[in-house]
Amino acid sequence: SNSIVDATISGDYNTINIKQGSATNSSDDNVLLFGINGDHNSLTVSQGDYSGDTGGHRAIVDITGGYNTIGLTQYNIGFGSGQFADINVNGNSNTVSSAQRETDKMLFVDVNGNSNSITTNQKDSGEHFLDITVTNNQTVSVVQEGTGDHAATIDLSGYSSTLQLNQNSSTDQVY
């Protein structure tokens, strides 16, 4: 089965949990279009987590404001149609973490503002791609795990940003 979520939340101190899929039911081809406008909000998204999930998950998340926390996990069994995420952040002191598991992972992150933290893990079976663009005073931590097919484009403009990039090989590393 699949699901589509399209929503915009405005306001402060909201907690949003979105789960597309469950541990007992297959959930493929999920779509999330989500926006948050406000401060001190928490968004947690899980797309797929069943052993039979074949992926095809897509998420576009837009955040405007400060002190927000965003967590996005996309999962499939490794022989599916992959994962796509595009996360846009406009504001200061936000925390973004994402995890994409198994094949065909593609992530875009664009951050405008100061003192934001971005952490991502693209885990196993190759075909990793990400493009991260940030402005001043950001902390970026990227892990692209095995087996090969790594590609990372990271643009740190401005001043005083920190980058940690780990591409856990079986070759094909590009950055």
| CA-based nearest residue to 123, from 69, 83, 96 | 83
Q: What mean pLDDT comes out for the span 78-91?
A: 82
CA pair distance 123, 115, nearest whole angstrom: 26
Question: pLDDT digits over 100-120, tens only?
Answer: 877 678 889 999 999 999 998
Confidence label for 166 from pLDDT (cuts 50, 70 and 90): confident
Alpha-helix runs per DSSP H in 28-120: none
CB 90 within 8 A of CB 66: no
Q: What mean pLDDT comes out for the span 72-85?
A: 75
CA pair distance 64, 155, nearest whole angstrom: 20
Burial of 35 by CB count in 10 Å (0-12 exposed, 13-18 middle, 19+ buried)?
middle
Position 1 scores a pLDDT of 55
Residue 56, SS3?
coil
Question: pLDDT digits over 48-76, tens only?
Answer: 766 666 667 889 999 999 999 999 988 87
